[in-house]
Amino acid sequence: MAGLRLGPLLRHVGTTTATVWVETDRPCEVEVVCGAPLDGGGTGDDSSGNSGGSSGSGNAASASCRTWRVAGHHYALVVVPGLPPGSVLPYRVLLDGAPVWPPADAGHPPSTVRTLPDDSGAVRGDATVRVAFGSCRWTTPGAADSPSVGPDALDTLAAHLARSPRREWPDVLLLLGDQVYADEVSPGTRRYLAGRRTGSPGEAPADQVADYEEYTHLYHESWLDPGIRRLLSTVPSCMIFDDHDVIDDWNTSEAWLAGMRGTPWWRERILGGFASYWVHQHLGNLSPAELETDKLYAEVRAAGAGDGDAYPLLREFAARAEADPGAMRWSYRRDFGRVRLVMVDSRAGRILEEDGRRILGEDGMEWLREQCTPDGSFDHLLIGTSLPWLLPHAVHDAETWNAALCAGRRGPRWARLSERIRRAGDLEHWAAFPESFEALAGVVARAGRGPEAPASVCVLSGDVHHAYVADARWRKGERPGSAVFQLTCSPVHNSVPAAIRLGFRLGWSRPARWAGRALRRHGHGAAPSVAWRRSAGPFFGNQLMTLTLTGRAAGLRLQQARPAPGGPRLVTVLDRALTPGVGGAAGPGGAAGTPRTG
C-alpha cells in the first residue's frame, strides 16, 4: 500500500482551481478530494480554527493523477478544477483509493483550500488579501540542536493559526529564499551525510550536501516538521531561492563562479540544486494554465512514468540552466484579486562579466517591466526579491564602491583587493549591480505613475537577518504617485551574531552615511536616482511580516517568535498603516513598536 512521504503542500490557489504537491513512497494514483464549503466561507468567526460547520455530504470537486519518478523518488502535482470561488473547502488526499491525509490521529483542524473571490468582488475592491512573508529558515529538528537560535517563527505561526479564526489566516505565504541550507546543515544532517559518504577524494565538504538525494533529505527535514506540514497543507505558498539553497555567495562574481567550477564536486552540487529546486519549489509556483503549456513538465511526467526515471532529463535541463543564465526564467507572477505579486529571481539569472554585470539579463528585465506596467487591474504591486533593493545607506555605498573597483575603475591592484573584499563582506545585493539597481528603480517609478497606478509598490525581501521598513522617493524627474516601500524581513529561524547587529544598526547612522559617500567618491560613483529613509527598524529576531491589503489601503505588521510558558508565542513589535484607510495588519488601532502577544 502506497504511503505519503512528504506533503501535502497547497501551492497555487485561484478562484476555481488549486494545486497540491506530494511525494509518495512508491508509484501510485494520487487523488485530492475537496468537500463541500464550510459554513461561513472565508469569514467564519470560529476562534479555534475548527471547521466552523458541517462539511456537508457532497464533494465540491476532486482530481487525480499518476506519480512520476525522479532519482528514485515519486512525486505528483494534482490540479483540482471546478472549485467554488470565495470558499473554504476541506480536502483529503488518497493514494490508490486509500486515505492518507489528514492522518487518522491528526488532532487538528482539517486541511483546507480557500479559493479567491470571483471578479465581481475583486472589482468592487472589498476583498481583503493577507500576505505573510519572510526568509532564511535554518532547520533543526529538536530544540537540543539549536538552543541559541530561538523559536522558529514559521512553526510558531502554525501553532498560532491553529487557535485563530480562519478569517485572520494569511491568504498566501511568501518564502523569499533560503528555504533549505545546503551549506550549513543541522547536526542531524551531518550524521546522515557521514553515514552516506564513502570518504573518497573529490566529494563535497563533509558538512554540505553533494547531490540530488542529499537535497531531498533537506526538504524532508524541513517540511516533515508536524507544525510546518499542517501550515503548508492549508496556506498557499510562493517560493524563490537564494544563495544558501545552493551555497553561500552563490553567483557573487565571475571570479567566484570560475573558482567553483574548478572544484571536483561543484557540478553535482549545482545540478542537484537546480533539479531539486525545480521539483520541490518551482513547479508549485506555476498556475494550472502555465503547467499545461510547460514543455519540461510534460517531458518529466512522460519520462518518469511507469518504470522510467526523469532524473537524467532534469540533469540535462540543470546543466543548461547552469551554463546559460538566460536558459530558464525562474521569475513568475501571481494575482490575488487586485493585488499583483511579481517574484524575481535575483540569483540564477545573473550576468557576471565585470564589464556588464546584471542581476537580470535584458530579457528578464523586460519581462519584469511588462508584469509591473500599471493597467488598472491591481491596487497594490508586490515585487518579491530575496535580496533587498534598498539597504542601509552605508552598505549600499560600500557595495557600489566595491563594484566600481572590481570593474577596474581604480586599476588592477584595487580590482584584485576589491574582489576579496566583495566575497568576505557578502557585497552582492542589488547595490552591487548598479545598473540593475537603477533598472529596478525605473520599473518601480514607471509602475507608480499615471492614472492607473496602484496605491502602493512594495519591494519584499529577506536575506540580511533583520527587519526594517524604508520609504523611497525620487531625487529628480517625474515622481511616482504610488507610495513606495522596501519591506525586509528575515530570518524566520536563524542566529544573528552581535557584530552583524551592530553593523546594520550603524549602517543607518549619519556618520556611516558620510563614510559611504566618501567611498562612493573614491570609486567615482554617482548618487542613486532614489533617496530613501528608514521609517521602522532595525528589528532582530526570528520574525515574519504580514501585509493586509483592502481596496487601496495597506497595513503592515511585524511579529517575532519569543519563548513563553506553554510554548513560543508571536509578539507584535510593529503595527502601522502604509497607505491611508487602515491601521496595521491587525486592524485599526495598532501602535508601532508596542509589543503585543498574538
Instruction: Give the DSSP letter string of 525-559.
Output: PPPPSEEEEEEEEEE-SSEEEEEEEETTEEEEEEE
Ramachandran area for residue 557 (φ above 0: left; ψ -120 to 50: alpha; else beta): beta
User: HSE-up of 510 (CA within 13 Å, CB side)?
Assistant: 0
Q: How far apart are CA 234 and CA 13, in angstroms?
A: 11
456, 381 Cβ separation under 8 angstroms:
yes
Contacts of 194 (CB under 8 A, 6+ apart): 206
User: What is the per-residue pLDDT for 595?
Assistant: 47
pLDDT at 329 over 60: yes
Mean pLDDT confidence for 393-409: 92
Cell of 210: 553533494
User: What is the per-residue pLDDT for 506?
Assistant: 87
Span between the terminal Cα atoms of the chain, in Å: 42
Q: How far apart are CA 491 and CA 178, in angstroms?
A: 9
Share of the chain above pLDDT 90, in %: 75
Nearest CA to 505 out of 388, 389, 394 is that of 394
Note the residue count of the chain. Answer: 598
pLDDT at 41 over 50: no
Q: How far apart are CA 420 and CA 72, in angstroms?
A: 41
Q: How far apart are CA 381 and CA 118, in angstroms?
A: 19
Classified as helix, coil or strand, 29 is strand
Share of the chain above pLDDT 70, in %: 89
Q: How far apart are CA 418 and CA 461, in angstroms?
A: 26
Nearest CA to 377 out of 339, 430, 423 is that of 339
329, 349 Cβ separation under 8 angstroms:
yes
Partners of 382 in the β-ladder: 341, 458
Q: How far apart are CA 116 and CA 122, in angstroms?
A: 9
Nearest CA to 240 out of 213, 272, 277, 212 is that of 277
Nearest CA to 43 out of 157, 169, 133, 162 is that of 169
| Parallel, antiparallel or unpaired: strands 569-577 and 596-597 | antiparallel
Question: What is the DSSP secondary structure assignment for residue 117, as one 8-state letter?
Answer: P
How many of the other CB atoms lie within 10 Å of CB of 59?
A: 14
166, 114 Cβ separation under 8 angstroms:
yes
Instruction: Encode pLDDT of 158-172 as tens digits.
Output: 999 988 888 889 999
pLDDT at 202 over 60: no
pLDDT at 597 over 70: no
516, 162 Cβ separation under 8 angstroms:
no
Nearest CA to 341 out of 176, 220, 521, 155 is that of 176
Q: Could you tell me the pLDDT band of residue 445, with boundaries at 50, 70 and 90? A: very high
Mean pLDDT confidence for 76-81: 98
CB burial class (10 A; 0-12, 13-18, 19+) of residue 218?
buried
Mean pLDDT confidence for 456-484: 92
**Mutual angle of helices 434-447 and 362-372, in 10-degree steps:** 20
pLDDT at 106 over 80: no
Q: How far apart are CA 324 and CA 572, in angstroms?
A: 44
Instruction: Encode pLDDT of 539-554 as tens digits.
Output: 999 999 999 999 999 9
| Parallel, antiparallel or unpaired: strands 553-562 and 543-550 | antiparallel
Quick one: which H or E segment has residue 276?
Answer: helix 266-277
Question: What is the DSSP secondary structure assignment for residue 306, as one 8-state letter?
Answer: T
Q: Could you tell me the pLDDT band of residue 596, with boundaries at 50, 70 and 90? A: low
How many of the other CB atoms lie within 10 Å of CB of 191?
A: 11
Contacts of 200 (CB under 8 A, 6+ apart): none
457, 383 Cβ separation under 8 angstroms:
yes
449, 536 Cβ separation under 8 angstroms:
no
Instruction: Encode pLDDT of 116-145 as tens digits.
Output: 988 654 444 568 999 999 999 998 765 444
